[in-house]
Amino acid sequence: MTGPRIILGSQLELTDDNTFTQVDLISEKSGMQHQRFDQYYDNVRVEFSSPVIHSEKGTPTAISGEFYAVKDLSTTPAISPQQGFQNALRQIGAQHYLWEYPDAAQEIDYQKPAGELVVLPYITDAGTTMKLAYKYDIYATFPLSRGEVYVDAQKGDVLFYNSIIKHVDSFGHVGEIAATVRTADEAKKALEDYDALAYVTGSAATRYSGTRSIETTLSGGSYILADAGRKLYTRDAKNQAPGSTYPYINNYDQFTDNDNNWTSAEHSANKDDAALDAHWGAMMTYDYFLSQHNRNSFDNNGTQIRSYVHVDVNYDNAFWNGSVMSYGDGSSNGQEGNGYFDALTSLDVAAHEIGHAVCTYTANLAYQRESGGLNEGFSDIWGAAVEFYAKGNGNETNPNPEIWLIGDEIDRRTGSAALRSMSDPKSLGQPDTYGGTYWKNPNCGTPTRTNDYCGVHTNSGVLNHWFYLSSVGGTGTNDVGSSYSVNGIGVTKAARISYRTESLYLSSNSTYADARAASIQAAIDLYGAGSAEEQAVTNAWYAVNVGSAYGETPPVDYCTSQGNSVADEYIGRVQLGSIDNASGATSGYTDHTAVSTELTRGSSATITITPVWRGTVYSEGYAVWIDYNQNGSFTDSGELVFSQGANQNTSVSGSFTVPTSALDGSTRMRVSMKYNGIPSSCETFSYGEVEDYTITFGGGTADTEAPSAPTNLAASNVTETTLDLTWDASTDNVGVTGYDVYQGTSLLGTVTGTSASITGLTADTSYSFSVQAKDAAGNVSASSNNVNVTTAGGTTADTEAPSAPTNLAASNVTETTLDLTWTASTDNVGVTGYDVYQGASLLGTVTGTSASITGLTADTSYSFSVQAKDAAGNVSASSNVVNVTTAGGTTPDTEAPSAPTNLTASNVTETTLDLTWTASTDNVGVTGYDVYQGASLLGSVTGTSASITGLTANTAYTFTVNAKDAAGNSSAGASVNVTTADGGGGPIDDTLIASYFETGWDGWIDGGGDCARYAGSRSPEGSYSIQLRDNSGVASSMTSPVFDLSAYDNVEISFSMYAYSMENGEDFWVRYNDGSGWQTVVAYARGTSFNNNTFYTATVNLPASSYNLSSTGQFRFQCDASANGDLVYIDEVVIRGTATAGVNAIVEAAAPQTFRGESFAEQPDFEGDFVVYPSPAVDLARVQVMLDIEDKPVDVVLSVYDIKGSRILTKEYSNVTEAAFTEELDVTSFKSGVYFVEITAQGGMKETAKFIKK
């Protein structure tokens, strides 16, 4: 295939700044080839651009995928990668990230992101623009999330978050994360995961799929769930939570069986049989993709798949984290109505997860809008296809009905059949029709987790139902009234078409329309044009309202757009060409398509829009689109012909040039005017009007004059396989639109400039090139001069192997590891690496002259050798063989430490005391001491003292201390009895003020505009707290009343706090005024003292020895941030006068006190200020949301839906003027379960939050 730059350039009218690099080549037995490219603009990669050139027998036949005509974009960033990284972190707002834990990061080949500079197609409801951006792969471990964050490299704004880990909650969808390729370091550790031990076939009584044959490995006299042939390994996570470090990746147990007959009696008691499902499910998914689609593992590179079962406790989740599968046991005991899910290891769940990894390595569909719905839908397709392959009845068009239910085997919710249904999506709250019931608008604003990234889990039902109908057929009438009839082609054929669609034709931002076109082409590739298969998939798309039925001319349908009110303003007059239309307005949309004008391609035109205000003059924004290619969409490049921001001008005008590519005939022009903002083409907004008109192209005098012939064609920069052509420009009476470049008589492609780069040539071969110019009318010039050129001669192939490595030796031999070293080989060109063998088994490849071997067995003999290789693939003779026996195993440590002695209690007060003791001894070493109060373990310490707090005055206690060692041996205990001090007659302990702010300010003084009493989820206690922001001095503070402190030796201030969006280093202060002026007692800084999105408690002490505790003392909390969005919430403030001084400390709350019933870490970032609480709710649920109110009141609709999507409550509110909207819902009559509250308001706002009814 020759000249991809020329072929792609002819489609895009690309500038010379755009180049392409091949990243993949797929060749088929049929002679078809598929070349995938990355696009670069000014040497910066264009994100999501992945054009594919399809060719047959060397001749290009089609182009698919995404590519962008990037031009006039500066590639010089205005901010540094470090600045962008900080902005990305602020967007995530997590407490911990994976790079803080190097061992865990290394396990899954993750590195702290440095920031890749990319050109990002920035997609909004208004269209697509190109932005220079930094891309960061941010892996947060608490709260858990992973996604690619794109930060504007000019302005610093966060543009897009592409979720990699897609979370699931206790009622929702299975989550996943994109996969990564195994690294060289992991390959070196191959002994641990696929050693030379024999793998054999066993029998497994699975939890969900009956008795199945599985591949296992005999290891140390027992069989383990390890399939070295497929590289599948299933392990016991020991109920460890993913946490910050995924501890179970290294700290796991093997599932074992003594005779390879894994029976239910042996393995069902603790849900261990779920591991058999996970193992068998991975086997079946691997076999399916290999046998049906010739795909070797998810990345087509044979990468291993590790599964960890028994993750966490009552964990309703399963996800792929980049290298391994994590399966929770679920919160159910297996009975319907008990908990949410049983163990999440069913076959369709495993296939769904691995299907997402396949998507990452093929179409890489972005997790937002329509592409995200396709991403989810394809994973469900693979869940059904794998289940049919492994458990189906063999009837292609009438398979077991269970294969169309996703998650049916694990779902234990009362009355719930499954997570999703492909045969009847609407039965479980998904659409079966594009734009029909349950369809979520993909143009929902900014995609976030809160809005399900604009409906990715919901809208996947459309693709699911298409696959179902393509497989089994069906007749009926869809939600938009279209009657359809589909003849099914069977699951296997439908899956082959689906795989070809996803792997060859789709790209990151593909839509349902793209998927339709791609699947039709895939059917033609596989079964021929006009085949029953092409007809079936076409008619199935028609059934779900995407495109026309087979054989029908597709209608041109335009999206709807309108203003909701023309009471204040509307479009009074539109002028363009012969259009001069003055009109009134009775609604927010007016159809003027009977009014038209003719425009000339290549000419300039001016449009003028005149608004009418019925009273007050408001600011209006404008936009005009013309559908030049007549495809029913206004989103194509160049179709937005005019826009202007909000203004109060009496008329606005703009000029544009009609492209020469505009199609003949009539098309649609849309004129839109929106209050206080630029409208998008398919938007419904509160105030303003939309009008549609007709534009016609064609007519006029035909251009029959051809351009002049190009001259001075010359070749330069000739190599073995490439050369550059240049020539002088042609002239034309209208204008030259491009140049056709020929090699001999074969057209290579078309360019718009006067140069072309030719690639794919053969060394030492003669070629002849010529060029012809053409214009918009299709006139072609005479040919340029021919240029004859011979490519440079090829080099002689390298057939010489490197010399054999020498002096191979083993060192640092332990029970399970050793190091190998050798002397380097030599080569006539250069050694590129060394293959390391254990016996005849290749362990991996290294580039240096050493390797570390792990995973060996104690007291076992091994044989190792090494071979060198070069870039041409030549391999040396083997090195000397080194034989080595690992060290013998050690005797387990069973000796307990001696008991602690001299346990003593001191510094006894009413509520505290100190314990000290003499250290224990141990044959290996003491690792810590467990401290007990009675029979209750208080905690462990490593030293020989402990401070006890929270005691009750005048109360007797018994404390015991036990020593322990690394082997878990525990000593006898040492005990002491002690009674706390009497509460009467002791030190002074007066509570000066206790403020919880639930009914008011509780005596504190509001500092001003940057201080407010707040109600919402960020309040540490109850519902209310005091919110401080920015750094406005007193205005950013709250101040206490005046206290007489002269009688106290110490003043203690305790409080709770929470921070949101504070930047690293920003702080807040606790201050004191003894009457002479304010002084800062403690400054707490973000990143040092606290992190965002976490509840903390703090204690501050002011001893009389350090502070003047006067009769006019006051206290103040003051924020020292940098913007209104940087917030601190103060709550539970208690000030006590005492006689005992302490130290200033801030500690994370052991159990954050919150009105929510679930851990804060499991909540999505509360960026939209929309929350429903408490959750679980018993009788009342409070709704709080921030509305976007400017200078007009809005109407609000509140709806409540149950888990099946049925609306059970609707409340309407008119003329709401307060931005902080709150409402209490009586949920006494609601059944126990999960509910969703949806808020809609004028201006396009639609937000959803969930709560649980207890």
SS (H, E, C) 474-533: EEEECCCCCEEEECCCCHHHHHHHHHHHHHHHCCCCCCHHHHHHHHHHHHHHHHCCCCHH
Classify residue 392 as left (phi > 0), alpha (psi -120 to 50) or beta. Answer: beta
Rounded to whole angstroms, the Cα distance separating 57 from 29 reads 11
E-strand stretches of 199-291: 199-205, 211-219, 222-224, 226-227, 232-236, 253-254, 256-257, 261-262
- Which run of H or E residues covers position 391? helix 369-391
Residue bearing tokens 């309703």 = 316
Q: Which residues are catalytic?
A: 353, 457
Alpha-carbon distance 732 to 876, whole Å?
Answer: 64
- What is the SS3 assignment for 1083? strand
- Chain centroid to Cα 427, Å, comes to 28
DSSP 446-462: S--TTTHHHHHHHHHHH
Separation between Cα atoms, residue 811 and residue 818, nearest integer Å? 6
Query: Alpha carbon of 804 to those of 809, 810, 868: distances in Å?
Result: 14, 17, 6
| DSSP secondary structure letters along 395-432 | -TTS--GGGGEESTTTB-STT---SEESS-GGGGT--S
Q: Which two tokens stand for residue 236?
A: 């016991």
Cα dist from 293 to 287, 493, 634, 1038, whole Å = 10, 11, 37, 66
Please tell me the distance from the alpha carbon of residue 117 to that of residue 1196, in angstroms, as a whole number: 42
Nearest to 742 by CA among 767, 721, 775, 705: 767
Look at the chain and count its residues.
1254
Q: CA 352 to CA 288: how far, in whole Å?
A: 13
Spatial distance between the Cα atoms of 222 and 1005, rounded to a whole number of angstroms: 71
Which residue's entry shows tokens 């007066």? 990
For the chain, report the end-to-end CA distance as a whole number of angstroms: 65
Q: For 122-217, where are the alpha helices, taking DSSP H only? A: 184-188, 190-193
Pairing of strands 861-870, 831-838: antiparallel
Measure CA 369 to chain center.
Answer: 13
The two three-digit tokens of residue 705, written as one number:
């004059």
- Give 252's contacts (C-beta < 8 A, 6+ positions apart): 235, 236, 237, 238, 308
Nearest to 44 by CA among 21, 22, 64: 21
Tell me if 690 sits within 8 A of 563, measured CB to CB.
Answer: yes
Q: Is the separation of the CB atoms in 331 and 316 below 8 Å?
A: yes
CA gap 434, 424 in Å, rounded: 14
301: which DSSP letter?
S
Contact 1227, 1253 (CB under 8 A): yes
Cis before residue 143, ω within 30 degrees of 0?
A: yes
